[in-house]
């Protein structure tokens, strides 16, 4: 019964994301997008200077643009703020597998976060994040780590919370469970060193959610 409810919830969530939260950019201007550009609350993407000039409100900063379709023809933007420290799994429950892919090379944080929101008991970190955003996978966190210098320069101008550069205690949850121990372990990621390691799901770490914008392929 739980499995049926999970599948129904997952299908509903996927349909909802496809219709509402998967932002499709429908003109060709995305060819000029690059890390450091601003995703505004009105859905437009532009430089910080244009954002300020037009009086738009910055919401997130682009850190990767898949112009070549290597991943899935998407751009990724990171939230201007951290979300507070929470557990990966409800601390009042026993350990269980939460049905994320557990693939450290997959760009599947969006699907992972759906699983964390709707499978059995909703994950505290998934409940904590705005529905518009999702918790990045290990691979997506690596893309963010590689772009953090340019991203930080724009986050600072927007008045957001900087990504840690030299802070020792800078661990963030990813949405990826550990393949070797999916019931009680998930990966945490250091944006200072680019290193990731397994952590107990009852541990508390912050999250830095991201948003995906699907690039228009039919121009």
* Residue pLDDT, tens place only, 88-120: 999 998 899 998 999 999 999 999 999 999 887
Strand pairing of 196-200 and 83-87?
A: unpaired
131-181 pLDDT tens trace? 999 999 999 999 999 999 999 999 999 999 999 877 666 899 999 999 999
To which residue do tokens 């009680």 refer?
184
Say if residue 127's pLDDT is above 70: yes
- The pLDDT of residue 23 is 54
Mean pLDDT value of segment 27-45: 87
Say if residue 8's pLDDT is above 60: no
Say how far apart CA 98 and CA 102 lie, in whole Å. 10
pTM to 2 decimals?
0.85
Residue 76's nearest CA partner among 90, 92, 58, 60 is: 60
151-174 burial, b if ≥16 CB within 10 A, otherwise e?
bbebbeebebeebbeeeeebbbbb
What does the block give as tokens for 215?
Answer: 């690039």
Residue 64's domain comprises: 2-215
38-89 pLDDT tens trace? 999 999 999 999 999 999 999 999 999 998 777 778 999 999 999 999 999 9
- The pLDDT of residue 218 is 55
Beta strands in 101-195, from DSSP E residues, in sequence order: 171-177, 185-190
How many Cβ atoms sit within 10 Å of the Cβ of residue 119? 22
- The pLDDT of residue 31 is 81
Instruction: Using pLDDT thresholds of 50, 70 and 90, give the confidence band for residue 1.
Output: very low
- Tell me how many domains the chain contains: 1
Say if residue 7's pLDDT is above 80: no
Is the CB of residue 116 less than 8 Å from the CB of residue 126? yes
- The pLDDT of residue 9 is 53
């Amino acid at each position: 019964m739980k499995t049926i409810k999970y599948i129904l919830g997952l299908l509903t969530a996927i349909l909802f994301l496809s219709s509402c939260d998967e932002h499709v950019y429908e003109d060709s201007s995305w060819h000029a997008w690059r890390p450091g550009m601003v995703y505004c609350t009105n859905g437009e993407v532009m430089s910080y200077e244009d954002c300020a000039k037009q009086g738009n409100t910055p919401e997130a900063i682009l850190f990767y643009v898949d112009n070549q379709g290597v991943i899935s023809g998407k751009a990724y933007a990171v939230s201007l703020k951290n979300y507070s420290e929470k557990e990966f799994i409800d601390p009042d429950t026993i350990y269980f597998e939460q049905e994320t892919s557990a693939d450290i090379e997959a760009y599947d944080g969006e699907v992972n976060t759906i699983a964390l929101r709707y499978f059995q008991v909703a994950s505290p970190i998934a409940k904590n994040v705005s529905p518009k955003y999702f918790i990045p996978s290990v691979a997506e966190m690596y893309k963010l780590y590689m772009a953090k210098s340019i991203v930080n320069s724009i986050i600072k101008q927007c008045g957001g919370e900087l990504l840690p550069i030299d802070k020792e205690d800078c661990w963030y949850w990813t949405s990826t469970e550990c393949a070797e121990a999916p019931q009680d372990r998930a990966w945490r990621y250091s944006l200072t060193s680019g290193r990731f390691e397994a952590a107990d799901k009852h541990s508390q770490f912050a999250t830095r959610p991201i948003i995906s914008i699907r690039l228009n392929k039919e121009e």
